[in-house]
Chains A and B, each alone.
Chain A
Amino acid sequence: GQQLNQSPQSMFIQEGEDVSMNCTSSSIFNTWLWYKQEPGEGPVLLIALYKAGELTSNGRLTAQFGITRKDSFLNISASIPSDVGIYFCAGQPKGGSEKLVFGKGTKLTVNP
């Protein structure tokens, strides 16, 4: 089945630094979604992307839907301690079943 390769698995950064993470697949995706999960909570949707090449921002977060439709990245600018959490990419493959496919997550730690 389709798989999403999310990298890096974990990141340790200093407050104020910018962060970049990405997801890639061998299959074409119709939709890319980015979620954040804090300890003890469910994933919360950050950004949804629907068109190849689309670049969308949500505050300090920016995500792009890759032109090839096989990848997406998420950038966080000027990180703050509350950015700590696990960030997941997810997507709906083109022509597949209707379920979402999830990456395994990027664990972000921000040192004050």
Chain B
Amino acid sequence: EAQVTQNPRYLITVTGKKLTVTCSQNMNHEYMSWYRQDPGLGLRQIYYSMNVEVTDKGDVPEGYKVSRKEKRNFPLILESPSPNQTSLYFCASSIRWAGWGNTEAFFGQGTRLTVV
């Protein structure tokens, strides 16, 4: 079954304690991205990756890091989480068509992060 898998689904942590949210897709998609979703603000892109070892900042990258060492995996790293990073996070992957860009994004089920 084609899917994007995120782990964990729920996480409560303390300020400053490094954490990683994993994301894996089995569709051989080139393009992967991370979003955060907050009430009234919709989906905002944190980081994206157009291929292995190619990553770039989205709209709200501060406080986050990513890596893309393999095509299927795109972990999100919070080196020193703060309460304002409490949010619902989604990983997504999509096909990237040359000259057209990425198209239909498939989303993971989300990770609800609470930083206290």
Chain A partners chain B: yes
Interface residue count on the B side (C-beta < 8 Å) = 26
A48 within 8 A of B: yes
Q: Which of A70-112 contact B (CB under 8 A)?
A: 88, 90, 92, 97-100, 102-105
Chain A residue numbers with a CB within 8 Å of B45 are: 99-100
Indicate if the CB atoms of A102 and B42 lie closer than 8 Å: yes
Contact of B106 among A31, A45, A99 (CB under 8 A): A45
Q: Quick one: which of A39-93 are within 8 Å of B by CB?
A: 40-45, 48, 50, 88, 90, 92
Chain A residues positioned under 8 Å from B61 (CB to CB): none
A100 touches B105 (CB 8 A): yes
Does chain B have a CB within 8 A of A30?
yes
B85 at the interface (CB under 8 A from A): no
Could you tell me if A99 and B58 are in contact, using CB atoms closer than 8 angstroms?
A: yes
- Complex: A102 Cα to B104 Cα, angstroms: 12
* Nearest CB of chain B from residue A1's CB, rounded to whole Å: 8
Answer whether residue B24 sits at the interface, using C-beta atoms and an 8 A cutoff.
no
Chain A's interface size range is 20 to 34
- Give the chain B neighbours of A41 by CB distance below 8 A: 109-110
Q: Which residues, 68 to 116 on B, are CB-close (under 8 Å) to A?
A: 90, 94, 96, 100-110
Inter-chain contact A40/B110, CB cutoff 8 Å: yes
A80 to chain B, nearest CB (A): 23
Give, as a whole number of angstroms, the nearest-CB distance from B64 to chain A.
15
Chain A residues near B (Cβ < 8 Å): 1, 30-31, 33, 35, 40-45, 48, 50, 88, 90, 92, 97-100, 102-105
- Beyond contacts A42-B108, A100-B102, A103-B42: 11 other A-B pairs, Cβ-Cβ < 8 A, are A30-B100, A42-B90, A44-B107, A92-B101, A92-B103, A97-B101, A99-B48, A99-B102, A100-B45, A100-B94, A104-B40
Closest 3 CB pairs of A and B: A42-B107, A98-B101, A104-B42
Residues of B within 8 A of A (CB): 4, 31, 33, 40-43, 45, 48, 50, 58-59, 90, 94, 96, 100-110
